[in-house]
């Protein structure tokens, strides 16, 4: 049984501290050049733990390692809002939050090539370090990492889209190939188009002759080799017709893996898939809470503030979804404390989608 208090302590130590000590979170120019200071809230690290009343399997779902793969992190996020009837479910839906807001694969480089080694100076260090320790602490019987790949593997074996990726047919006592093929066969009953079929892609990562040695830096390889946790990558295709089909593919795949590992959720996957709009398009009223020179201000649409020199602005929070936060396109998006001399724009976004822009002009 997982020690929840211990896990929370580890999260505090490994997540909170490096943000202050190691991440490039401030960009204050010299005092003579700074006219206004703006504080943005930190990027939250979401992890959700759901436990059913009945005993079952233990699955960890990871999404958002690549920021321009919304089918992956949206599907993972949906699971945060279900009830687990049987087994245990762990969800980390937006591992690479800054890349999601930037809508880029890796704003600080490819996060999925940082699980073998990473510099403490890397802005991704706190999240990669946290996830590696989280995997070892949770010790799930299966980790599923969700991605949206390019192309269709069924018609182009070099493409990563629309397939189940394994690092080996078998690793120790983990029968990855057998399990992946079982899921592939079940899911492919739902797809009539050849290119939409979901085959199994074995990268043979452990082989000295592998064509994909870069996979030895990935999350799944780390899980197998360093954490002794079976891990499988689920890839839908970026070329699927819309976000709904990408999310549906991930849900269909997870449904079958959950069956194999005796994890049951409510509402079940069939209900979620048939009511997908309710989960993907909730009615949300977006607000940004600001403190401008000690005055509380609510902003819900494009707005420009003219500020005297010496002003202090703090974004204290947001009303929206779990993917709502703010970045400035005018500076490095990792920065959460910014000093400006003349002007800056701050975009309030819900994941990749810009909701409104708040502009500040020094007068």
Domain residue ranges of the chain, discontinuous segments joined by +: 26-42+285-319+322-362, 48-280
Q: Global pTM? A: 0.92
Beta carbons of 101 and 332 less than 8 angstroms apart = no
pLDDT value of position 34: 78
- 48-280: which CATH topology? Aminopeptidase (3.40.630)
Cis preceding linkage at 144, omega within 30 = no
Residues ≥6 apart with Cβ < 8 Å to 329: 345, 347
Dihedral sign of CA atoms 49, 108, 120, 143 in order: positive
pLDDT value of position 242: 98
CB atoms inside a 10 Å sphere around CB 98: 23
3-class SS at 154? coil
Element (H, E) at 86: strand 83-92
Instruction: Determine whether 193 is exposed, middle or buried from the number of CB atoms within 10 Å of its CB (0-12, 13-18, 19+).
Output: exposed
User: Can you tell me the distance from the alpha carbon of 70 to that of 246, in angstroms, rounded to the nearest whole number?
Assistant: 8
Beta carbons of 171 and 232 less than 8 angstroms apart = no
Token look-up 């701050």 returns 346
Beta carbons of 57 and 141 less than 8 angstroms apart = yes
pLDDT value of position 32: 53
Positions of the chain with pLDDT lower than 70, given as ranges: 1-32
Beta carbons of 115 and 145 less than 8 angstroms apart = no
Q: Is 262 left (phi over 0), alpha (psi -120 to 50) or beta?
A: left
């Amino acid at each position: 049984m997982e020690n929840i208090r211990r896990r929370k302590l580890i999260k505090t130590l490994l997540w909170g501290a490096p943000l202050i000590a190691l991440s490039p979170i401030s960009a204050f120019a010299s005092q003579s050049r700074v006219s206004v200071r703006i504080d943005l809230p930190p990027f939250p690290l979401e992890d959700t733990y759901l436990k059913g009343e009945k005993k079952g399997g233990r699955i960890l779902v990871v999404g958002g390692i690549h920021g321009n793969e919304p089918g992956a992190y949206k599907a993972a996020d949906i699971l945060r809002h279900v009830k687990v009837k049987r087994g245990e479910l762990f969800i980390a839906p937006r591992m690479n939050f800054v890349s999601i807001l930037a809508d880029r694969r890796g704003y600080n480089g490819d996060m999925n090539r940082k699980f073998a080694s990473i510099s403490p100076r890397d802005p991704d260090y706190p999240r990669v370090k946290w996830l590696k320790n989280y995997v070892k602490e949770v010790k799930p019987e299966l980790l599923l990492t969700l991605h949206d790949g390019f192309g269709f593997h069924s018609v182009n074996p070099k493409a990563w889209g629309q397939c189940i990726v394994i690092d080996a047919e078998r690793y120790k006592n983990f029968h990855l190939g057998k399990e992946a093929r079982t899921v592939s066969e079940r899911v492919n009953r739902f797809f009539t188009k050849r290119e939409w079929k979901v085959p199994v892609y074995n990268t043979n990562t452990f082989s000295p002759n592998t064509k994909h040695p870069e996979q030895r830096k990935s999350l799944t390889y780390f899980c197998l080799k360093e954490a002794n946790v079976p891990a499988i990558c689920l890839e839908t295709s970026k070329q699927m017709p819309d976000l709904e089909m990408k999310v549906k593919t991930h849900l269909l795949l997870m449904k079958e893996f959950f069956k194999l590992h005796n994890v049951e959720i409510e509402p079940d996957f069939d209900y979620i898939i048939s009511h997908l709009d309710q989960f993907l398009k909730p009615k949300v009223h977006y607000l940004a809470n600001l403190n401008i020179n000690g005055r509380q201000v609510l902003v819900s649409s494009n707005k420009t503030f003219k500020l005297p020199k010496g002003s202090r602005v703090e974004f204290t929070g947001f009303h929206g979804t779990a993917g709502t936060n703010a970045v400035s396109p005018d500076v490095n998006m990792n920065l959460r404390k910014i000093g400006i001399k003349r002007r800056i724009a701050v975009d309030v976004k819900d994941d990749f989608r810009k909701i409104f822009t708040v502009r500040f002009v020094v007068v």
